[in-house]
Structure 1
Amino acid sequence: MPFKSLFLSGSPDANPVKDRALVKTELSEVEVVLVKHSDFSRILDICKDFASKGGNAIILCPGFTHEQVAEIAKTVGKDVSVNVARGDGKSSLAARKAMERAGWFNPKKA
């Protein structure tokens, strides 16, 4: 059985039903799912489903709060690793500028 990871990345226009991809080798599987941070109950459902199907590790983008990370860890239990991708201040600023250019903070696009 391969090591199974789930990477959750936030996007204001995400539809997690269709905005997903799976990359597999014999030893590893990585599923990437785009989610709306504002739809946290759906995020918890995705994590529960992943854990129930034998998932091993969840990786979260930097947009998740400490409280959300804790709730996800509580939801999936001790047998699923929960990790957070974090950058330094300079990296976060560069990402924010790119998000602004893409229109992430424009309410008409979100």
Structure 2
Amino acid sequence: MPFKSLFLSGSPDANPKKDRAFVKTELSEVEVVLVKHSDFSGILDICKDFAMRGGNAIILCPGFTHEQVAEIAKTVGEDVSVNVARGDGKSSLAARKAMEKAGWFDKRVEDNL
């Protein structure tokens, strides 16, 4: 049975039902799902489903708060590892600059979500 990971990454225009990818080898499976941080109940549902399907580890992008990480860990239980990708200050600034350039913080984008 392969080691199963779920990577959740936030995007303001995400549609988790269609914005997904799956990579599999004999020993590993990685599922990637883009999510909206504003739909936390939907994120919890994705995590619950993953745990019920025998998932082993959830990796969260840096956009998740400590409280959200704790709630996800509580939701999936002790048998699923919950990890957070974090960068240093310089990395966070570089990511923010790229997000701004992509239009993540554009009011018009937020109004249409």
TM-score over 0.5 for the alignment?
Answer: yes
Percent identity of the aligned residues? 91
Runs of 4+ residues deviating >6 angstroms: none
Paired residues in the alignment total 108
* Aligned-residue offset at 1:41: 0.1
* Aligned-residue offset at 1:23: 0.2
| Distance in 2 between residues matched to 1:82 and 1:47, nearest whole Å | 10
| Distance in 2 between residues matched to 1:93 and 1:70, nearest whole Å | 25
- Equivalent position SS for 2:21: strand
* Aligned-residue offset at 1:91: 0.2
| Distance in 1 between residues matched to 2:24 and 2:81, nearest whole Å | 19
| Distance in 1 between residues matched to 2:68 and 2:89, nearest whole Å | 21
Query: What TM-score comes out, normalization by structure 2 length?
Result: 0.94
Give 5+ residue unaligned stretches, structure 1.
none
- Equivalent position SS for 1:21: strand
What is the match of residue 76 of structure 1? 76
Aligned-residue RMSD, C-alpha: 0.7
* Aligned-residue offset at 1:42: 0.1
Give 5+ residue unaligned stretches, structure 2.
107-111
| Distance in 2 between residues matched to 1:72 and 1:6, nearest whole Å | 12
* Aligned-residue offset at 1:49: 0.1
* Aligned-residue offset at 1:65: 0.2
* Aligned-residue offset at 1:45: 0.0
* Aligned-residue offset at 1:60: 0.1
| Distance in 1 between residues matched to 2:43 and 2:68, nearest whole Å | 10
* Aligned-residue offset at 1:12: 0.1
